Structure 1
Amino acid sequence: MPTLSALLWPFFDAVVMVVALIALTRFAGLRSFSKMSGYDFAITVAMGSVLASVIVTKSTGPLVGIAALAALFAVQAVLSHLRVGSERAADAMDNAPLLIMRGSQVLEDNLAAAKMTRADLMAKLREANVLQLETVQAVIFEQTGDVSVMHGECAIDDEILQGVRATI
């Protein structure tokens, strides 16, 4: 049976780690928990893992956890700087968005390349309040894993589709 102090340490560690996470996030800026690229998501997951590790294990204390979080924020800042400053670095780190539907036509090869099913696609169309396939102008599998559904009356500006791969 755990002692009362053994049960209270996770609360202390949780408070310390959450305060540190908030402080580091405020210092690092808005991008800290964005999903602009795959590495952003990976770092966010790693931060959650560090937080959980410190809270549930006694072997690492909050200072080690804070150092690990600071390291992750630093890695994210360096990668973001490289990505913004170098097109080659951005190309190496980012997936290009992929066109899944052109108008009401499903691009089956692209759907398969995105590892999406028709059911996945239809769910995304429903999420976007598409009532008729004829109103769909484009569906794009974004570099973050999100799916953008463009539908309505207006034509899509070419600039919005810049960088989107039409074929695999």
Structure 2
Amino acid sequence: MSYIFLILFLRLSGKRTLTKMNAFDLVVTVALGSTFATIFLNKQVSLAEGLTAYALLIGLQYIVAWLSLHSIKFNKIIKASPDLLYYQGQFIESALNKNRVLKSEIMQAIRSNGFSSMEDVEAVVFETNGSMSVIKRSSSNSKTSTLSDIDPKKS
């Protein structure tokens, strides 16, 4: 029954509950798994107690997501900001050190994205979910760059 209710709660709460958007989402996902294991393995925990824990965790996640959507200050507290690790041919040492990322890890991300030459890469961004985005060098001078939300001075 616990498994069925967990699936139902997750479907009702939406995709956001299981995303890798920030640290709080990860904590909720781990806590849901731990709660499920406790309900499943511990006979002293009733189904009602477990369902209450599910509802509380998912409710908290919903509140945090809603607050981060409606409050810039709260959003900055909850979420990390993306960092430039490599930009226009230069590794950004301060960002590498801050994020504990090796140059070899950046090279691996670039290769994984199908690039054989660094000259083809405009930037590598360390995203808020821990992944690395590799941005292809563009010949156009578009005013809507995908790097517009990244402050290179903070990286």
TM-score above 0.5, yes or no: yes
The equivalences for 1:85-100 within 5 A come to: 85-100=70-85
> Given the alignment, which residue of 59, 66, 76 partners 2:51?
66
Alignment-derived partner of residue 164 in structure 1: 150
The answer to whether the 8 Å contact 1:124/1:149 transfers is yes
Q: Which secondary structure state, in structure 2, belongs to the residue aligned with residue 42 of structure 1?
A: helix
Instruction: Give the number of equivalent residue pairs.
Output: 153
The equivalences for 1:1-168 within 5 A come to: 16-155=1-140, 157-168=143-154
Structure 2 unaligned blocks of 5 or more: none
The answer to whether the 8 Å contact 1:82/1:89 transfers is yes
What CA deviation, in whole Å up to 9, does each residue of 1:99-148 have, x standing for no partner? Answer: 00102321111111111112222222222122111111111111121211
Q: Report the AA paired with residue 97 of structure 1.
A: P
Q: Report the AA paired with residue 123 of structure 1.
A: Q
| TM-aligned CA deviation for residue 17 of structure 1 | 2.2
The answer to whether the 8 Å contact 1:103/1:135 transfers is no
Distance 2:40 2:18 in 1: 20
Q: Which secondary structure state, in structure 1, belongs to the residue aligned with residue 146 of structure 2?
A: helix
The answer to whether the 8 Å contact 1:100/1:140 transfers is yes
Alignment-derived partner of residue 8 in structure 1: none
| TM-aligned CA deviation for residue 85 of structure 1 | 0.9
The answer to whether the 8 Å contact 1:99/1:110 transfers is yes
Alignment root-mean-square deviation, CA: 1.8
TM-score normalized by structure 2? 0.88
The answer to whether the 8 Å contact 1:38/1:143 transfers is no
| TM-aligned CA deviation for residue 18 of structure 1 | 2.0
Structure 1 unaligned blocks of 5 or more: 1-15
Q: Report the AA paired with residue 115 of structure 1.
A: R
Distance 2:104 2:68 in 1: 34
| TM-aligned CA deviation for residue 61 of structure 1 | 3.0
Distance 1:129 1:96 in 2: 26
